[in-house]
Chains A and B, each alone.
Chain A
């Protein structure tokens, strides 16, 4: 019984994000003229999974009490690279996909090296590297365009028999194959330890440098997977600073809505997935209510503010003001 209390308390942010998303999505489907068809589900899933992947990418640096401002740019770079090399035979496409992931890992490794071994503040280091990645994307694809193996693209961005969106399966696969093993590995634990108290982690003999480095590498990998998915959805590449920037900022919002503290040490990527879904559903809700798209940023901002305030309600019940500052 007591065990359950502790486990629930640990997952409070995640549970809240799931609840909010479920309520919003149910409302959206109820209001939608077509209801829950395979098409509606796939469109919603594709948009949601894109941000969910970038949100997952952001989560891990945040857990170490860092920040990765380059995730959006890695996402855009991966999109541009994919639109160049993922064409031709199935084998060539597969190698192309691996190359795109390798680009993401390399970008992440550069971030990690600069933060860990260069000892720069993550926020400024990744701002700089992100701009470089965007420059590379622009050099690679000065104008939008390119191509991708359409069989592959349709398989990833379409729906499976039974109407299940393929992108959702991809997301579940990433969680199962990368996130869950990582969360339960020593280096995953070390990331939380570093975010909680880097000094104490060092004194406990935790592999700090490796943990931080890996956090940025995984961020690069997740962002590249998202870039791959974007290419499959749009069949093209575009070096857009606006897309990169908005994904970076929204990824931070998704992380916070998902219950991960920006101070580090708590939370997790699954929360960020639902945080991303919540953000995306807000836009959809405006659509079914026939609101002018011009209002979207205003509502998005208001809802974001309300959502992050939910986490502060416990502060009203605090009886010892010292706890406010811990």
Chain B
């Protein structure tokens, strides 16, 4: 299985990179061979991103060498790496929102005739690439900005395939995808492996790595830890290598007794624009309620409707027993309602990236620090310090820009910002997308702690493990309506998948997931 006599297609040795005084990567190593999928594992901030940015020519290493097919290479920019056959699908989407899908797929090297772009040939190329990625449902002339996140991710994959790479790097490429799309992407990746590509795969989802990887390499704190053949180590052992400390159960225990008392949030017959259909639910203080189902069934819209972002919502919303009309996020965070929404896309809806950690953390709660129309900076600083400690945010002071922090720490800042408003109802929109195991674990514990302190939590996740591990109750949405409510022991992977597909759910310990997931096409 592990044939070391064949020279690897790509080899990186002794590569180091520092940003100012911070060590991002030291003495990094990576070998990629044809026809193999190499998983790179590590927490956020472990150096994975820097590693692949160096491979893709986005950043230049301070020292070390790279070899492609035995010859030393230096990539001065992404175009050089692409020309050499190394194509990377980045976590931060690299699509041009105003251009069409076809324009985007062909952007690096559009087909030309007489020096001008041949739009017909480009259309054929785009259709072929979309088909290869299993995303024929996307129209090549659609502007990318009109597509939902999961479709954009598929365009990103099609774009990479259109460049005919020798080495394909996927950085959290499935984090925004629906389960059905993930299955398609996996099939594509396995085919590409058959075709002899070398694939580097970065994901925080252990079961994805178990399904795909041939080799695994672990990084921690910017340093290389180990490379081993997939299947030779247990999940627990791998997680220990990743986090560098003993592995405990990822999810905190759920309380045995159900919280009683009147609901903190009750909604009745909530509808909106044909995308939300008569949704009723009640959440008591201390409850963590999950939203499940396939991506795009109205989960995001439900959260946005509650938070006052959508126009024309009908139905009744009661907070603490009193009817409220929330017409804007500003009204939602007001004391009378006390809602917080952790948004899906931290970079656009959650953070002001160029602004400081301090400014970002206090934005939502700024009015609380007001005194005679001015901001009481001392009180602000004191509360910011508390939040940073509570969430264990790793940052170098509070004056630096948020953009400089790792993804996990950025997400903690989004959460911290909302905790500073002292919310009683917390809405979360897929908050663990693209963050590392360690941070996820901290987040799960935080959620339970907030619930124990009396918060009512509504939690949308595309990751079934999270719903199972965190939630007291899961509402599975299908086509804008609640298809099924799963409670306690009923929250199993099989039931979640079956309800998501609107199939009759089996009871508790059902058949293994694989047989269900493959049945409906």
A322 to B310, CA, bound (A): 8
Binary contact readout B70-114 vs A (1 if CB under 8 angstroms, 0 otherwise): 000000011100110000001001111111100110011010100
Taking the closest CB of chain A, its distance from the CB of B2, in whole angstroms, is 33
- Pair A320/B93 contact, Cβ less than 8 Å: no
Chain A contacts with B in 173-228, Cβ cutoff 8 A: 181, 184-186, 189, 192-193, 195-197, 199-207
- Smallest Cβ distance from B213 to chain A, in angstroms? 25
Give the distance in Å from the alpha carbon of A186 to the alpha carbon of B309 in the complex. 40
Which residues of B have CB within 8 Å of A2?
A: 139, 141
Query: Is B390 interfacial (CB 8 A cutoff)?
Result: no
Contact B310–A319 (Cβ < 8 Å): yes
Docked-complex contact B96 and A196, CB < 8 angstroms: yes
The answer, among B97, B117, B139, for a CB contact under 8 Å with A6, is B139
**Interface residue B179 (Cβ < 8 Å from any Cβ of A):** no
Partner of A192, one of B58, B90, B96, B119: B96
Evaluate contact between B96 and A197: CB separation under 8 angstroms. Answer: yes
Q: How far is the CB of B151 from chain A (nearest CB, A)?
A: 15
Check if A185 sits within 8 Å of B96, measured CB to CB: no
Q: How many residues of B contact A (CB 8 A)?
A: 41
Does A196 lie within 8 Å of B98, measured CB to CB? yes
Task: Decide yes or no whether A3 CB sits under 8 A from chain B.
Answer: yes
- The yes or no answer to A10 lying at the interface (CB within 8 A) is yes
CB-contact partner of B309 in A7, A9, A204, A320, under 8 A: A320
By the criterion CB–CB under 8 Å, are A200 and B273 in contact? Answer: no
Tell me whether A321 is interfacial, beta carbon within 8 Å.
Answer: yes
A293 CB–B CB distance under 8 Å: no
Is A318 an interface residue, CB under 8 A from the partner? yes
- A3-B141, A192-B98, A204-B96 known; A186 vs B117 contact (CB < 8 Å): yes
Q: In angstroms, how far is the closest chain B Cβ from the Cβ of A322?
A: 6
On chain B, the residues within 8 Å of A42 by CB distance are none
Which one, B83, B99, B112, B159, contacts A196 given CB within 8 A?
Answer: B99
For A320, the chain B residues whose CB sits under 8 A away are 301, 304, 309-311
Given the interface pairs A205-B78, A319-B311, the reply to whether A185 lies near B117 with Cβ below 8 Å is yes
Q: Does B137 contact A (CB under 8 A)?
A: no
- Secondary structure at the A interface, as helix, strand, loop or mixed, is helix
CB-based contact A205/B108 at 8 Å: yes
- How far apart are A136's CB and chain B's nearest CB, in angstroms? 35
**Chain A positions within 8 Å of B273 at CB level:** 319
**Contact A203:B349 (CB < 8 A) given known A189-B110, A319-B312, A321-B311:** no
State the Cβ distance, B296 to closest chain A Cβ, in Å: 14
Nearest CB to that of A198 among chain B residues?
B96
Q: How far is the CB of B198 from chain A (nearest CB, A)?
A: 20
Q: Is the CB of B143 closer than 8 A to any CB of chain A?
A: yes
Closest Cβ of chain B to A82, distance in Å, is: 31
User: Given A186-B117, A319-B273, are A203 and B310 also a contact pair (CB < 8 Å)?
Assistant: no
Find out whether the CB atom of A195 lies under 8 angstroms from the CB atom of B94.
no
B90 with A265: CB separation less than 8 A:
no
**B142 CB-CB contact with A under 8 Å:** yes
Contact at B108–A10, with CB atoms within 8 Å?
Answer: no
A184 and B96 form a contact (CB under 8 A): no
CB-defined contacts of A6 to chain B, threshold 8 Å: 100, 139, 141-143
Distance between B343 CB and nearest chain A CB, rounded to angstroms: 9
Q: Are A265 and B96 in contact (CB under 8 A)?
A: yes
A-B CB proximity, top 10 nearest: A205-B79, A265-B98, A6-B141, A196-B98, A203-B94, A196-B96, A184-B116, A200-B94, A204-B107, A266-B98
Q: A6-B139, A266-B98, A319-B273 are in contact. List 10 more A-B contacts (CB 8 A).
A: A10-B100, A192-B99, A192-B103, A193-B99, A197-B95, A197-B96, A204-B108, A205-B77, A207-B79, A320-B309
Q: Which residues of B contact A (CB under 8 A)?
A: 58, 77-79, 82-83, 90, 93-100, 103-104, 107-108, 110, 112, 115-117, 119, 139, 141-143, 145, 159, 272-273, 301, 304, 309-312, 328, 349
Q: List 20 A-B contacts (CB under 8 A).
A: A6-B142, A6-B143, A10-B143, A185-B115, A189-B99, A189-B103, A189-B117, A192-B99, A195-B98, A196-B97, A196-B98, A200-B94, A200-B97, A201-B96, A205-B78, A205-B83, A265-B99, A319-B312, A320-B309, A321-B328
